[in-house]
Every structure is written in C-alpha cells, then in structure tokens.
Structure 1
Amino acid sequence: MPAQPTEQLNDRWIRISGITFLVLLAIYAYKAYENLFSLETGKLLLESIIISSLTWELDRWIIIRFRHKYPLLHQVRTRLCWVIPLCWLVNVTIDCGGMLLNNAIEFRKHYPKAAFLGAIQGSLILAFLITGIQEAVYYFSRLLQAERETEQLKKENLQTQLDSLKQQVNPHFLFNSLNTLSYLISEDAEKAEEFLDEMCKVYRYLLRNNENELTNLGTELQFIRSYFHLLKTRYGDSLHLNLAVEPSDEQRLLPSLTLQLLVENAVKHNVIHKDHPLTVHISTRADGQLTVKNNLQKKVQKVASNQVGLSNIASKFSLLKQPAIKVQQTETEFLVTIPLIQPSH
C-alpha cells in the first residue's frame, strides 16, 4: 500500500488532537474532573465527543471547500471572509442543537438560557481556533510542497543540461563540428571564423545555463540562431528555420533550453535531404503562446531515444504551475504549443 502524503498524515493528527482538546475543554468547563467516574461525567464525555467531532469535521469540510475555490496564498483574506462566518453559524447550530436535544430527551442536566447565549460567543472562538489551526497546517504544507517542487525543478534543469551537453559534446558531434571547421579554414577563412564564433556561443550558453531556471524568449532565440547556424553549416539547404516572433513577446519567459530540445527533436527524428528539406517554424500567437512546428517526414529506421525532450519540457511546466504544453501530429506536420510566462514586476 503506497504511503500517504505527509500533509494528510499531519492533518489527521491535527484533527484527532483538536477534537481531544475540545473534549478536555468541555470536561474542564463543567468541572467534570471533580467526579471522573460518575454516570454524569460519562454522559458529558459522550456528548462532548459527538459535538466536538461534528464541529471540527464540518468546519474542516467548509474550509476545504473554500480552499478549492480560493487555493492561492494571496487569496487567504477572501477565503477567511467566507469561512469564519459560515463556521460560526455551523458551530452555533451544532452547539445549540445539541443542547436543545439534550433538554428534550433529558440525557443529562438541563441547559439554562444562559448556556445558549454563551454558545454564540463560544462558537465564534471555536471558528477562529479551528480555522486558524487548519490554515496554519495548510500554509506549512504548501511551503513544504513548494520547496520540494523547487528542488525537483532544479534536478530537472540539471538533467536537461546534462542531456543537452551529452548530445552536443559527444565525440560524433565534435568530430563533425571540427571537421566542418577544418574544411572551412582551408576553403573560406571568413566563414570558418563565423562558424567558430557561433560554436563558442552555443557552448557558452549550454555551460552557463544552470544560473537560471527561466530565461526570456529573446535570449533563447539568440541561442537558437547560433545553434541553428551549426546545423545549417552541416545540412546546408536541406534545413531551414523560420522565425515569426513578436518583439513584445521576447520578454516573456520559458524554461531554458526549451527551443533547443524541440529543434533537436525535429532534426533527430526526421529525414533531412536536399530533395526533402526540413523546415522548423518558431512563432508566437496573440494569446501569449509559442508554437514550434516542422514538416513531418519521419525516418524509416527508428532512432534511439531516451524520451527526454518533450517529457522534460512538460515536467518543467507542470512544476512551474503553468498550463500543459500541447503536442499535435498530423500526416504532414508536428506541432508543439507552449505557454509563455508573463514576467513578474
């Protein structure tokens, strides 16, 4: 049986402890400790357990319902403005209802009118107490969850960097790049210098990528131009890149190396030939989404894949609490839609 989340275990013990505290409070208020083993004390104990359990559980149910409706930490004030009055009303109803039932069936001593008036004040105190404890536990669990997700995101970023470096700094890639550079040096020194400059930019970006979890789209596009320059030198007119990005979108954010992973995915899994050129389109939409698509011409022979690319990107957006990426494939094209993140000011 899988272990329950820590938040559930903490909440369970908070509920048990809270109900126990309310029962002990009732015993103290009615001085039942003076005669612990009497029938009257036993009846009070039973009544207190029922009333306290109903009060705590119904208040908790209300809190959870409004927590689902207003889940964010900055919505605490709105949530409490609804929760506390409702919990107060429920608590008054339970307390007064219990006393009325007791008086009707004469289960134990008759409750006077003053007890009903006192229930109004006592129920408000309980509403604040239960809500405060439940909110404190919720806030603490959210902080722990955020810390865990931050650590996981860092691991995902490190894994992305490692996989990208493995892909780029492998002997095959270096051999091709250095071979291309060697050829250009003897044939066209100017192009060789340009190729070397772009190659340095690619490696510099890859090696410095661990500084930030997010980068702006403009920076990613600068990198992808350098990265594509290396690919273009190798594949020539068999490979094309089209960019249609609004300048206003270049300050929006996305996880680092997202575009590189998508371009790499397209190059890795599709035929690239002068008779069947591969074209990658990167564009932004009016709704703040980024699309990366390519014409689909899958290689006949399956390419070994560790499934890092798309799953890695999807995992990052999930950890960042962003909408899920969308992957679409038709007979002629492969398209990935990514939500761009609005920078906070």
Structure 2
Amino acid sequence: MARQISGFNFKHIFIFIFSSLVYALCQMLLSNIVMQDDLWRKFAVQLTAHYVVVVVMCAADYNLLLFLNKHFPYSKNVLYRIIADLVGLTLICFALLWIFDLMLYKILLISAAGLPPFTTKFALGILTNAPIMLVFELIHYFRSEQKAIADSEKAKREVLLFQHETLKAQINPHFLFNSLNVLSSLIYLNPKNANKFTKALSRSYRYVLSLNQQPAVTVAEEMEALDSYIFLMQMRFENAFTFKVHQSGGIENNKIVPLTMQLLMENVFKHNIATEEAPLDIQITIGNEHIIVENQVRPSSNADKSGIGLKYLKKQYQLYGKEIAVEHTGNQFIVKVPYIEP
C-alpha cells in the first residue's frame, strides 16, 4: 500500500509531478517553435519557468473547479457551466500574465526588448491552460460518475436492509406472541372476530412479503394495508385508543416508503400507555405535501426499545433527499412525512 501523509498519496503526488514536468517540457517546445527561439539556450531556466507556470495554473484551475462545482454545477445548467469555465480560464490567464509581467519588468527589471507582446503570451497562456482545465473536468466527471454508481449501490443495499429489518420487526416473537394470544382468546370468546383477526393478520404479512421489489408505494396502498394493522390493534387494545384519518382528495397516488404508516403506528403503541379509561388519541392527516401523524404523549415506563423505529424511517427518506419532521409540542407528538414522488 502506498504511504500517505496528511491524506496525500505519494503515488498521486509522483504522478502529478511527473506529468506536469512532461507537460511543461511540451509547452516549452511549443513556445520555442512559435517564437523561433533557440531551445538549448538557457534550457534549465526555460524549463523551470514553464514548470512554475504549469504548476501555478494547475493550482488556479483546481480552485476554479471547486468554485464552479459549488456555484455552477453541470446538473443545473451545462451551458452556464461551459461559459463559466471559459470566463474562469480567461481571468486566470490574464491575472497570471499580469503578475509575471509585474515581476519581470517592475521587480526584476528585465528588459522587454525581444520578448513577445502581451497578446501573444496571452494566447499561449490560454493554449497552455485549456488542456489542464479539461483534464481536471474529465477527472471530476469520472469521479462523480463512480460516486453516483457507489451511492446508487449503497441506496439499494439500504433499501434491502430496511426491508429485511422491517420483516424481522413484523415476525419478532413479541408481535407473534401478542397476535396469537389475542387470536387464542377470540377463538373462544368471539369466533367471528377470530376469523376476521386471522384474515387481517394474513393481509398484513402478505403486504410485507410483497414489498421485496417495491422501493415506493402509493398512499392508497399504504393506507389499505394500515387498515389491517389497525384492526389487529383494535382487537388487542379494544377501546383503549381512538383512530381518525383526515384525507384530501386527489393525492392517493402520491408515493411514500413502504410500511411508513405501520411503523409510525408501532412507535405510538410501543412508547405510550393506552387504556379504556383514558383512550389514546391518534390522528392521521393526508395533506397535499405531507402525511401528518399525531398522537397524545403518555410515556410508557417499560417501552420496548427494539425494532426499526423512527430513525430507520428518517434514514430511508434521506436516501430520496427528503426529511421527516418531528415535533414534540407539550402533550402531542407530531411526525410529518413528505412524499418521495408526488
């Protein structure tokens, strides 16, 4: 493995020094051909001067690239980026030539006799600097493509992990034990409801298993699956909570991350106390920009801290560049879920 100091790889430093030296030599040859000068006259001085110019241009171009990536990225407007590149190259060449002329003629007091005019040097400067900027742009482009591919693969792995964790949460022993315990009681007390409970449990699991190839689902699909889950909770908690949905029309096809609503409901029941004497109020508002889940805060002292929870949902929405907003206003806990696809 190549040795590194302060994050710089010796291999990359060597490649830069060697390539910039070769490029400076090529530019020196071109300059001597254009100016019809003697190549071997003060060869070392000429090569050193050209090498300094190339290195300074590399530093200037690199900083220009960082500035353009921040303020004029290709993703916004390709034409503006190209124009910004050309303007930046022009300003860099003009500024460097002005500084070098100042050093040569004003500080070192070298005579301008026999030296090319400013316009000729400026043209040579543009000719020298353009390939450097082009190489930087190509390197940035290919690195961006590699990063995009890596991010895409990471996002796929995150989605698969989310689905796996979600499935584990659905089949964890506590959930199964509670569901089967309720079902066992219903079989003797209310066979009709036992049959409904079994079908709802089956629909809930079927929905989870159907999500293997679905990174997003519609609001309508999610709410339909939530109905089965809420029915299971009603059979378990009976009159210990109230549940209402407020919905605007025309947004049923908006998309969200699968099982968002069910996981939020799990959090509500997991972290709060619900009794028939003081029912827990839960409301869902499906708006134009967000789905808002709101519940009363009645902390449970022995809340189960396992499972996916809100932090996993936040991570999933961040993969789409979205943020889940969480508000804790006194005795109310509010979660605002954005749509990932309107």
Once structures 1 and 2 are overlaid, which stretch shifts more, 62-71 or 22-31?
A: 22-31
Q: Which residue of 2 aligns with 1:332?
A: 331
Identity %, equivalent residues = 23
Question: Which string of whole-angstrom CA distances, capped at 9 and with x for unpartnered residues, describes residues 294-313 of structure 1?
Answer: 11000123x34247422212
Unaligned runs of at least 5 residues, structure 2 = none
1:90 paired residue among 81, 84, 92: 92
Q: CA deviation at 1:16?
A: 5.2
**Pairing 1:1-345 to 2, within 5 Å after superposition:** 19-30=20-31, 35=40, 40-71=42-73, 73-95=75-97, 97-99=99-101, 101-103=103-105, 105=108, 112-113=115-116, 116-126=118-128, 128-286=130-288, 288-301=289-302, 303-306=303-306, 308-322=308-322, 324-343=323-342
Instruction: Name the structure with the higher helix share.
Output: 1
> Quick check: 1:325–1:338 contact (8 Å CA) kept in 2?
yes
User: How far apart, CA to CA, are the structure 1 residues paired with 2:13 and 2:227?
Assistant: 54
Q: CA deviation at 1:166?
A: 2.4
SS of 1:165's partner is helix
> Quick check: 1:156–1:312 contact (8 Å CA) kept in 2?
no
Once structures 1 and 2 are overlaid, which stretch shifts more, 66-75 or 211-220?
A: 66-75
User: How far apart, CA to CA, are the structure 2 residues paired with 1:146 and 1:84?
Assistant: 26
Question: Which string of whole-angstrom CA distances, capped at 9 and with x for unpartnered residues, describes residues 289-334 of structure 1?
Answer: 2222211000123x34247422212222222223x32222133011
SS of 1:247's partner is coil
SS of 1:59's partner is helix
Once structures 1 and 2 are overlaid, which stretch shifts more, 239-248 or 180-189?
A: 180-189
Question: Which string of whole-angstrom CA distances, capped at 9 and with x for unpartnered residues, describes residues 18-41 of structure 1?
Answer: 644542322322459964xx7x22
Q: CA deviation at 1:91?
A: 1.5
Q: Give the aligned residue type for 2:328.
A: Q
Q: 1:200 to 1:304 in 2, by over 3 A?
A: closer
Q: CA deviation at 1:270?
A: 0.6
SS of 1:328's partner is strand
**TM-score using structure 2 length:** 0.82
User: How far apart, CA to CA, are the structure 1 residues paired with 2:292 and 2:6?
Assistant: 39
Number of residue pairs aligned between Structure 1 and Structure 2: 334
Question: Which string of whole-angstrom CA distances, capped at 9 and with x for unpartnered residues, describes residues 240-280 of structure 1?
Answer: 32222323333222222222221111111110111222222
Q: CA deviation at 1:11?
A: 8.9
User: How far apart, CA to CA, are the structure 1 residues paired with 2:325 and 2:70?
Assistant: 25
Q: 1:195 to 1:127 in 2, by over 3 A?
A: farther
> Quick check: 2:169–2:307 contact (8 Å CA) kept in 1?
no
Q: 1:179 to 1:149 in 2, by over 3 A?
A: same
> Quick check: 2:244–2:283 contact (8 Å CA) kept in 1?
yes
SS of 1:280's partner is strand
> Quick check: 2:240–2:275 contact (8 Å CA) kept in 1?
yes
Q: Give the aligned residue type for 1:235.
A: F
Q: 1:172 to 1:75 in 2, by over 3 A?
A: same
User: How far apart, CA to CA, are the structure 2 residues paired with 1:11 and 1:327?
Assistant: 45
> Quick check: 2:271–2:304 contact (8 Å CA) kept in 1?
no
Q: Give the aligned residue type for 1:158.
A: L
Q: Give the aligned residue type for 2:178.
A: N
User: How far apart, CA to CA, are the structure 2 residues paired with 1:131 and 1:229?
Assistant: 63
User: How far apart, CA to CA, are the structure 2 residues paired with 1:340 and 1:171?
Assistant: 32
Q: 1:24 to 1:154 in 2, by over 3 A?
A: same
**TM-score using structure 1 length:** 0.82
Q: Give the aligned residue type for 2:341.
A: Q
Q: Give the aligned residue type for 2:310.
A: L
User: How far apart, CA to CA, are the structure 2 residues paired with 1:217 and 1:3?
Assistant: 52
